[in-house]
Amino acid sequence: MTTFWFIVIAFLWTGYFVLEGFDFGVGALLPLVARGPAERRQVLGTIGPVWDGNEVWLISAIGAMFAAFPAWYSGFLSEFYLAMVLVVAGLVIRGVGLEWRGKVRSGTELALCDAGIVTGSVLVAFLWGAIFANLLFGTGLATVLGGALSLSLALLHGAVFLTLKTEGAVRSRARLAALLASAGTLPIAIAGLSALPSGADSELLWVASGTAMAALAAGVALVWRRREGWAFVATASAIVLATASLFGALYPAPLPGLTVAEMASAPYTLTVLTWIGLVALPGVIAYQSWTYWVFRKRLTRV
């Protein structure tokens, strides 16, 4: 049961990184791909209906850690207390910018909203990579490399998402942004994923890491060929596989000196959680799938 819940938590973090990854990328790229108020609305309109729903995955992941592995939850949040405070601050600043932007009219207020969106997106995207790299390798250059990897992945993923969801000049600039972002993402990914320590199944870990890098390269090639849909599938797959590699490296000891068995809640608690998860998780997935289906079309300038 402990291994099962470790996999569930890894799945929730994976969903968060895939879905919020392009949210962060779109927010960070806002000043680079949008020219003028109409194009900025077009860009932000691609994530407007979904960004807050995507954060449900973060709440679910943290909540599952608290319930299934309370020692992991407390150790994780206490060890990275300052970084987590900055993550929350970035999410708040970004959220306020996204929500407030539709309620203001003056140029100064709109500029403040845009600055909050960009700052929050860049900050949080970088910090998640830095936090998990620190968890794996400790402080030092690896932390910076982890932050650079997560930020560059978000930029690439967000740019590909914009090519899929927009038309006109924004789509062209997003394609260029994706190609430029790939120039940094690919070498950082090779360095970062190659350095992952071996977990319980090192062979599977290396397969996942290698496939993640192949998916990234395929995504870039597909962007070049203007196959936006398949390019998005490729970048999303790269994030899924990279996250799988990350949690594979963390297993069976997500915190130094503590295994999942030692950090787990009582068997009865895990059983109750399993029944709750069997009811709640399919509902979350179904609702979000419906949301993306409803808002699946490209956006023009508004």
Residue 98 is part of which domain span?
1-255
- Report how many domains make up the chain: 1
Question: Rounded to a whole number, what is the largest CA-CA distance in the chain?
Answer: 57
Q: How do residues 105-152 score in pLDDT, each as one tens digit?
A: 888 999 999 999 999 999 999 999 999 999 988 877 889 999 999 999
Classify residue 291: in a domain, yes or no: no
CATH code where residue 120 lies: 1.20.1630.10
Classify residue 85: in a domain, yes or no: yes
The phi, psi pair for 80, rounded to 5°, reads -115, 40
pLDDT of 199 strictly over 60: no
pLDDT of 217 strictly over 90: yes
Quickly tell me which residue has 């038309």 as its tokens: 167
- For residue 302, name the pLDDT band (cuts at 50, 70, 90): low
Classify residue 302: in a domain, yes or no: no
Classify residue 268: in a domain, yes or no: no
Q: How do residues 236-282 score in pLDDT, each as one tens digit?
A: 999 999 999 999 989 888 988 889 999 999 999 999 999 999 998 89
Classify residue 277: in a domain, yes or no: no
pLDDT of 198 strictly over 60: no
pLDDT of 207 strictly over 90: no
Classify residue 79: in a domain, yes or no: yes
DSSP states of the chain as a string?
-HHHHHHHHHHHHHHHHHHHHHHHHHHHHHHHH--SHHHHHHHHHTTTTTHHHHTHHHHHHHHHHHHH-HHHHHHHHHHTHHHHHHHHHHHHHHHHHHHHGGG--SHHHHHHHHHHHHHHHHHHHHHHHHHHHHHHH-SSHHHHHHHHHHHHHHHHHHHHHHHHHB-HHHHHHHHHHHHHHHHHHHHHHHHHHHTPPP-SSHHHHHHHHHHHHHHHHHHHHHHHTT-HHHHHHHHHHHHHHHHHHHHHHHTT-SBTTB-HHHH---HHHHHHHHHHHHHHHHHHHHHHHHHHHHT-S-B---
Given this model, what pLDDT does residue 301 score? 62
Mean pLDDT of 292-296: 87
- Mean pLDDT (the chain) is 92
Mean pLDDT of 172-200: 85
Classify residue 226: in a domain, yes or no: yes
Classify residue 28: in a domain, yes or no: yes
pLDDT of 200 strictly over 70: no
